[in-house]
Structure 1
Amino acid sequence: MIKKILVLGTLAVFSVGCKTSQLPEPAPKPEKKKSSLKDYSSIITSEAKSDDGLFTTHFVDDKLYFEIPVEHFEKDMLLVSRIAGIPSGFGGGYVNAGSKVNEQVVRWVKRDGNVDMKVISFENQSDENSPIYKSVQANNFFPILYSTKIEAWSKDSSSVVIEAGPLFETEVNAINGISSRLRKQYKVKKLDKSRSYIESARSFPKNIEIKHVMTYEAETPPERDQAGTISMLLNQSMILLPENRMQPRLADVRVGWFTIEKYNYDSEELKADNYKIIRRWKLIPKDIEAYKRGELVEPVEPIVYYLDPATPEKWRPYFRKGIEDWNVAFEKAGFKNAIIAKDPPTKEEDPEFSPEDVRYSVVRYVASTTRNAMGPSVTDPRTGEIIESDIIWYHNHLRSYRNRFMIEAGAQNPNARTLNTPEAEIGEMMRMVIAHEVGHALGLPHNMKASSAYPTDSLRSADFTQKYGLTPSIMDYARVNYVAQPEDKGVRYIRMMGPYDLYAINWGYRYLPEANSPLEEKSTLDKWILEKAGDPVYEFGDGYSGADPQSQRESLGDDQVKASEYGIKNLKKVVPQLVEWTSRDGYGYEELDEVYRELQYMWRGYISHVITNVGGIYETRKTADQGGSVYEPVPKNIQKQAVSFLNKEAFTTPQWMLDENLLGKIESTKVVDRIQSLQTRALENLLNKDRLKRMVNNEESNTKESYAVVEMMRDLRKGIFKELYTSKQTDAFRRNLQRSYVDIAASYLEELENGKDREILKSDIMPLMRGELSHLKKDLNGRKYNIRHALTRYHWEDLVARIDAVLLMNPS
């Protein structure tokens, strides 16, 4: 468009030369307009603190100015908003320093004596020469994020000076650190400008970094001692996007990649054709002919990660290995030395080195109590090219892996039986966490389905685990081998990279020199997928549906019931040893309390892995040219086996968890409530409305082979109320569980009264729960006098009263 305007301008000049007398007075020259502005030196005084780079930033007193080169107007820039510092308790622990708030493309546009910053979208696309192009433009008008007047021109007229401070000192929703949900939760009133300010502004050759403090008045801040105030430090990165655009690669649901969605209005389809492209680094071989011959070739620009100068020396070798482990995968894609880990340069080696500089990707070591690690990246939304990424390792994540290793491997591995995990083991765990996060930064999402490719009992084999690891993908959540038993010698306990990772990197990164468009690549990419079709090692599942038992976080092996049996068997051996393993002379039992609580969390996870089989659906991602179904219900025998396991392990009082020696050191009276909470959560999960509806649907579509929902409820009732059917007394734990069963069933019927969930009102869940409660009431009335234990009889009479109350309030 700019070129077209220049051409028209040139034609106008030639026209002036031919017919001077017929033209109106010439427009004022730009210099005259500029002369009415302030002089550059009166704005950018000798007291200014300036930093040269993409734009020159100037601090004059308390004002921030941008000096924008004219050549950078209309250029695409990525504005990335992150939280750099947050108050304690913010977001309930789910928001950390480093969390991304927003990512959007902006352009700085000169408009007469003003400069606008517009937000640009590349989601809807059409060729400029297409008739529909004008309509696409008209119906996707770009909003103005910030507008300000030009304060001055530079002395050589190559740049303009604007005041940029108000963009970062006032509340702009697009770069705001507090979401609407948190704003409502904390009852945020307003931004206090007197306590909001710009902390720093740095300019680099390809990006600008602004840190600014935002202070809000809030009625209910995250912590009481915050005095009605929420202050947070935000970091705004403005990054110049490449002029030479990378060729995008079309995504495919059968291979896991982070993606960007697009809509093509030039499509021949009778709709706007939506498609996705993958996010990846731009890797081009130095010697394309050698690459074509199948030789390993270095890329023109390798992916380089620098270690944070704050990284402790003893952990640096493990971090470097975790980064460069991916070279094995890139070799599968034809590249050697594609990814390189470097120590941070000294001041002498690179005086301008900064982790904030977009030219440097850094593995940051953050001194924080946060127990996490992240692998975010910055992506060009036009093409999917990853521009830069910073892996974040929070120091206290060591604690997570120390605890998990003790809990899940303590029964089998002597090295796990200490709070001071040996360096070899904790270092290997750190290495694999870094490799996992680098995988995200390369474009790979979690593949929760990978672990189900391996037979569960293979994880007890030294030969198998040392060769293949715990799962085909490092991108799965499968951190510690909890399946292995104490008698299994030489097994691997820590995850590692697997064959799926090599396959995915080859699929996403192999350079296809003969293909001149994304569509020309597709047949080759499809061929690679079909070559692996039917092999579970190369299947992908993100685990988000919650319905596929083969696609779950922290699950190991293809048989979730057997894996959970092994896992709980190990937990039972660990509990009696925790006091010894976590105690230190002169210290209390805080570590014991923490590890014991996390052990219960692990137990809950094992139970959940089994529950997912009930009403579960196997998903195998396919395209229309592949035979067979995408969705298949879990076989009836597996679902019945799962409920049998639950009655035995989840809905029977876990006496092994109630170690008196342990509990006597960490609590006084909460043990009954603790077990009730665990069992009630499991029961609520099992009786989840979506699960029950799937069971009804499966029964209708496959009557003979399905596990009927009525049969499941009968099996469950016989387990939870086994004392009723065997005339035995109940203890406090069992009474709590039985009350939870009645309460959960009753909660569905109560929807008749409040009518909020119309989905339940119209489903078979209502008559199912009414029938179950009526059946249970009949059994309670017929058997409650068979027991002499008074509290048990009172308990059953109370259940009858509860059932009567809900049935009376909600008659059929």
Structure 2
Amino acid sequence: MKNSLPFTILSLLLLFFNTATAQKQADLLASQTYYQGLVDFYYDSLNDKIYFSVSKSQLNEEILYIHSLATGVGSNDIGLDRGQLGAERIVKFEKAGNKLLLVQPNYKFRAKSNNAAEVAAMEQAFAQSILWGFKIEQENSGRYLIDATNFLLRDAHGVSRTLARKNQGNYALDLTRSAFYLPRTKNFPKNTEFEVTLTFTGKPEGRWINSVTPNAEAVTVRQHHSFVSLPDNNYQARKFDPRAGYFSMAYYDYAVPLGVPLEQKFIARHRLEKKDPKAKVSEPVKPIVYYLDPGTPEPIRSALLDGARWWNQAFEAIGYKEAFQVKMLPDGADPMDVRYNMIQWVHRSTRGWSYGASVIDPRTGEIIKGHVTLGSLRVRQDYLIAEGLLAPYKDGEKVPDAMEKMALARLRQLSAHEVGHTLGLAHSYASSTEGRASVMDYPHPYVFVKGGKIVLDNAYDDRIGAWDKVAIAYGYQDFPEGTDENKALNDIISASLKEGLTFLSDQDARPQGSAHPNAHLWDNGKDVVAELERMMEIRKIALTNFGEEAIRKGEALAKLEEVLTPLYFFHRYQTEAVAKVLGGLEYRYALRGDGQFATKMIDPEWQKRALESLVKTLDPSFLALNEELMAQIPPRPMGSYRNREIIKVKTGMTFDPLSAAESAADMTLSLLLHPERANRLVEYHARNEEQPGLEYVIKRLIKTTIMKPFPKNFEKEVQMTIDNVVLQKLMELAVNPKSSNKVKAIAHYHLDLLKEWLEDKAEYALPESKVHYGYGLKLIKAFEKEPEKYKVSDLLPLPDGSPIGMEWGCGQ
């Protein structure tokens, strides 16, 4: 009996504590709305808070977490677009004392072994990341209630960091102007979705942010958080082959035997299986379905649907029936929901890139969500190009529909291209020289002359190409049981090689420095040199016909400059392609034993043809505009301003045809005298004297520019402009740190020869020419005196507009 009193008191205390705890829990949940799904949560409407309810069974269970930008800032330059995806992360909740930690395991380093100790040793060797720590507010019935408000109401997407990096100002999140956005905060059995309205305040410093916000001191966007159930373990990863045209995902497996590479590579692709793998044609177990943004207007909507659906041609070719589908997004569906592969139509204040992005399972490479972002202004750029080519607004004549048809044809190709990225495909930049073999190339509008008139009927292709079908076969062919998959995949590639198809991607196609003569952006034709000469003729015809009929009646005549700019530089991308022939090198992504050659020098005669075409783009008759055209372009009227997509000028408000010539000459010469190209010219000539060397190139360049007799009238001034650019580019080559010693020596030698030539010419020249020759002579003497102090010339760059319609990277 002596212990009964303390026991009774203890019982009463425990009862009181449990009652108080239960009351506290009841109070905590009283004002909350319960959402059941993958991650159960409560929304507290009184305090605008969200609580996760995590069961003990969910601890250490991996799920996928991804954040995204639901609404954009609207500036291409800032790069914060509606629908932009962040990086996907595998995460799991772990309990540690009175906290739940959100842990991101390190899947870059693995040990795929049955030995638990080996796996543990691997996990302990490399760091993990704890993304957040949540205090346990209460524990009840095997569940933990944690406050997730601060985790969700944060700048997960890095908006403030991006604004600072883009020099638009220092912004900080203002929680007093931020809140949960309930219309798109939802829960489902396999995914949990949160959306938050975030306001960033600060002092704006850049014109971009001022141009797209009603009040640049307060920038409000919405960010989205998704938690997604990971796919099951039935997906079969497919090996990466550099010849197959896919993006890769890779990790290091420290459990592989000696002799096997540590780095394991697989392609990124959607899961697709035939219902009957033995059947020649079979429906899929589950089709790949993409959904188009309902905010897309007609006729753009139909064009995007048509282009995306081209991919079904490739799936039909490997025995699938209706495996790839494109539909309109259903009412009430959220485009940020990872269950929907999306094609989104995004508006910006200026033209910008389009993208094909994906949410990928980091464990396997399986694509969970494809997400395409298409910039809405690009279609207007193609329309503008067509206006310049046709000058269609003739009095009394019906405006032709060829311009809209061309613009919509480009959108079909764009839609197919970006969806291709989200199917796992990389850029295929040799395809334009192989008969439009892939929509994964960057196409330039292919126009031609018929009956003396420019025709746009075949500007863009209307289907996927031969290479696209090869790539889809490699990634998505479903093989019957018992098939040697490695052999079957290699057979697909081997057959494509026999058909003459080549895969070359981004690193091979950039105009500055890259070397392959067939991998280019925005080019056409098997023989890129012949195509440049053809395009120069088309440009000549279009400029001859150009005038006020290139704009609609009632528009300011100053708009002629906007239409003229892409026409004047119509040759720019094909010039890049031709420059790569000179000092270029043919090569393949060759594997040992696949029968492909590794490298091959380019025919020297083709290179000499390329050089002749390039110097033609420096001829004053090519770059000079006629007087009638120049006289029609006035300064900008009130309320209209020069933008970055028109010709840069040195004349203030007036149109500047000499600066246009300077920019065009700088374009060609920056390519022609690029130090890496010059280094290769020296090397290849040393290895084979039939190859044109740098000496040959510079001699020919100087002879066709600086040493060329002056033409008359305005063309004379254009040639003087070109000559100055040639001289400055030679001096830049002579001191460029990337130039080899031999390249520097050759450049200095030719500057010495030019000095002697200019001294002679300046002595006997007419006054106007004497001024020109004397200035060139002064530049060379100053350069020779202190070459190390030479400053790169401030030549006017090309107007923005590369690429046509803005394609790039994982997209166009």
**What TM-score results when the alignment is normalised by the length of structure 1?**
0.82
Whole-angstrom distance in 1 between the partners of 2:699 and 2:23: 84
Equivalent of 1:530 in 467, 490, 494 = 494
1:396 aligns with 2:377: yes
- How far 1:804 moved relative to its partner? 0.9
- Counterpart for residue 42 of structure 2: 58
Whole-angstrom distance in 2 between the partners of 1:37 and 1:112: 21
Q: Is the 8 A contact 1:89 1:222 kept in 2?
A: no
Q: Which has the higher contact order (CA 8 A, sep 6+)?
A: 2
- How far 1:313 moved relative to its partner? 5.0
Whole-angstrom distance in 1 between the partners of 2:296 and 2:273: 31
In structure 1, what residue type is equivalent to 2:114? Answer: N
Whole-angstrom distance in 2 between the partners of 1:277 and 1:180: 31
Cα displacement string for residues 605-642 of structure 1 (whole angstroms, at most 9, x for unaligned residues): 22222112122122222101134532323222222211
Q: Is the 8 A contact 1:204 1:357 kept in 2?
A: no
Equivalent of 1:75 in 61, 66, 74 = 61
Whole-angstrom distance in 2 between the partners of 1:210 and 1:565: 54
In structure 2, what residue type is equivalent to 1:380? Answer: D
In structure 2, what residue type is equivalent to 1:257? Answer: Y
Equivalent of 2:656 in 670, 673, 686 = 670
1:553 aligns with 2:533: no
The RMSD of aligned alpha carbons is 3.5
Instruction: Say which is worse superposed, 504-513 or 195-204, in terms of deviation.
Output: 195-204
Instruction: Say which is worse superposed, 241-250 or 357-366, in terms of deviation.
Output: 357-366
Whole-angstrom distance in 2 between the partners of 1:698 and 1:475: 32
Equivalent of 1:684 in 670, 684, 689 = 670
Whole-angstrom distance in 1 between the partners of 2:379 and 2:18: 61
Whole-angstrom distance in 2 between the partners of 1:633 and 1:410: 43
- Counterpart for residue 358 of structure 1: 338
Q: Is the 8 A contact 1:57 1:67 kept in 2?
A: yes
Q: Which runs of 5+ in 2 are unaligned?
A: 1-13, 636-653, 790-812
Equivalent of 2:770 in 763, 776, 793 = 793
- Counterpart for residue 769 of structure 1: 747
Whole-angstrom distance in 2 between the partners of 1:481 and 1:262: 42
Written as runs of structure 1 = structure 2, the 5 A alignment for 1:176-215 is 176-177=158-159, 183=165, 185-186=167-168, 188=170, 190-200=172-182, 201-207=185-191, 208-213=193-198, 215=200
Written as runs of structure 1 = structure 2, the 5 A alignment for 1:293-308 is 295-308=280-293
Whole-angstrom distance in 1 between the partners of 2:264 and 2:276: 32
Q: Secondary structure at the match of 1:223?
A: helix
Distance 1:553 1:168, change over 3 A: same
In structure 2, what residue type is equivalent to 1:514? Answer: E
Whole-angstrom distance in 1 between the partners of 2:94 and 2:169: 37
- Counterpart for residue 21 of structure 1: none
- Counterpart for residue 593 of structure 2: 625
Distance 1:171 1:436, change over 3 A: closer
Equivalent of 2:327 in 342, 359, 377 = 342
Cα displacement string for residues 731-766 of structure 1 (whole angstroms, at most 9, x for unaligned residues): 332222222222223234556xxxxx4x44x63232
Q: Which runs of 5+ in 1 are unaligned?
A: 1-28, 347-351, 455-470, 752-756
Written as runs of structure 1 = structure 2, the 5 A alignment for 1:754-765 is 757=737, 759-760=738-739, 763-765=741-743
Q: Is the 8 A contact 2:379 2:408 kept in 1?
A: no
Equivalent of 2:535 in 567, 571, 580 = 567
- How far 1:769 moved relative to its partner? 1.9
Whole-angstrom distance in 2 between the partners of 1:490 and 1:674: 26
In structure 1, what residue type is equivalent to 2:67? Answer: S
Whole-angstrom distance in 2 between the partners of 1:205 and 1:737: 67
Distance 1:316 1:183, change over 3 A: closer
Whole-angstrom distance in 1 between the partners of 2:553 and 2:390: 24
Cα displacement string for residues 535-569 of structure 1 (whole angstroms, at most 9, x for unaligned residues): 33354434445321201111111111111111121
1:167 aligns with 2:151: yes
Whole-angstrom distance in 1 between the partners of 2:596 and 2:550: 52
Q: Is the 8 A contact 2:287 2:322 kept in 1?
A: yes
In structure 2, what residue type is equivalent to 1:441? Answer: T
- How far 1:327 moved relative to its partner? 1.7
Cα displacement string for residues 167-203 of structure 1 (whole angstroms, at most 9, x for unaligned residues): 244456xx42355795273453655554555445333
- How far 1:280 moved relative to its partner? 1.0
Identity of aligned residues (%): 23
Q: Is the 8 A contact 2:64 2:230 kept in 1?
A: yes
Whole-angstrom distance in 2 between the partners of 1:163 and 1:419: 62
Whole-angstrom distance in 1 between the partners of 2:209 and 2:256: 56
- How far 1:507 moved relative to its partner? 1.2
In structure 2, what residue type is equivalent to 1:805? Answer: A
Q: Is the 8 A contact 2:387 2:550 kept in 1?
A: no
Written as runs of structure 1 = structure 2, the 5 A alignment for 1:473-492 is 473-482=438-447, 492=458
Written as runs of structure 1 = structure 2, the 5 A alignment for 1:579-590 is 579-589=547-557
Written as runs of structure 1 = structure 2, the 5 A alignment for 1:593-632 is 593-627=561-595, 629-632=597-600
Equivalent of 1:808 in 785, 789, 809 = 785
Distance 1:748 1:563, change over 3 A: closer
- Counterpart for residue 784 of structure 1: 762
- How far 1:144 moved relative to its partner? 0.4
In structure 2, what residue type is equivalent to 1:359? Answer: R
- Counterpart for residue 323 of structure 1: 308
**What TM-score results when the alignment is normalised by the length of structure 2?**
0.82
- Counterpart for residue 498 of structure 1: 465
Aligned length: 735
Q: Is the 8 A contact 1:724 1:780 kept in 2?
A: no
In structure 2, what residue type is equivalent to 1:501? Answer: D
- How far 1:319 moved relative to its partner? 3.2
1:437 aligns with 2:421: no
Cα displacement string for residues 407-453 of structure 1 (whole angstroms, at most 9, x for unaligned residues): 56889xxxx99586566554443333222222122111221111112
In structure 2, what residue type is equivalent to 1:674? Answer: A
Whole-angstrom distance in 1 between the partners of 2:631 and 2:362: 54
- How far 1:263 moved relative to its partner? 1.7
Q: Is the 8 A contact 1:306 1:342 kept in 2?
A: yes
- Counterpart for residue 260 of structure 1: 249
Whole-angstrom distance in 1 between the partners of 2:224 and 2:549: 42
- Greater fraction of residues in helix: 1
Q: Secondary structure at the match of 1:147?
A: strand
Distance 1:266 1:84, change over 3 A: same
1:707 aligns with 2:692: yes
- How far 1:301 moved relative to its partner? 0.5
- Counterpart for residue 639 of structure 2: none
In structure 2, what residue type is equivalent to 1:507? Answer: Y
Written as runs of structure 1 = structure 2, the 5 A alignment for 1:23-422 is 39-46=24-31, 48-60=32-44, 61-87=47-73, 89=75, 92=77, 96-130=81-115, 132-153=118-139, 156-157=141-142, 159-170=143-154, 175-177=157-159, 183=165, 185-186=167-168, 188=170, 190-200=172-182, 201-207=185-191, 208-213=193-198, 215=200, 217=202, 220-223=205-208, 225=210, 227=216, 232-269=221-258, 273-289=262-278, 291=279, 295-346=280-331, 353-369=333-349, 371=351, 372-407=353-388, 421=402
Cα displacement string for residues 500-543 of structure 1 (whole angstroms, at most 9, x for unaligned residues): 11111111100124369xxx522221122122325333544344
Distance 1:135 1:119, change over 3 A: same
- Counterpart for residue 702 of structure 2: 717
- How far 1:482 moved relative to its partner? 3.1
Q: Secondary structure at the match of 1:129?
A: coil
Whole-angstrom distance in 2 between the partners of 1:262 and 1:657: 57
Q: Secondary structure at the match of 1:683?
A: helix
